[in-house]
Amino acid sequence: EAGNPFRFVNNVDGPLRYTILNYQKRTDNKYHWETIGNYT
């Protein structure tokens, strides 16, 4: 996530961050990945 600093927590892996993607068909009949949400 742009603008949010990454920090390690007690010398272990950093906090979980996921971007939720959906593979969608566009109106021009091409496919692309669309970001539909985030989980932190």
Q: Which domain holds residue 34?
A: 1-40
Number of independent structural domains in the chain: 1
Q: Give the pLDDT confidence score for residue 27 in this predicted structure.
A: 94
Percent of the chain past pLDDT 90, that is, above it, reads 52
Question: Of 15, 20, 23, whose CA–CA distance to 38 is shortest?
Answer: 20
Q: pTM (2 decimals)?
A: 0.54
Range 4-27 average pLDDT: 82
Strand partners, 19: 38
What one-letter code names the amino acid at 4?
N
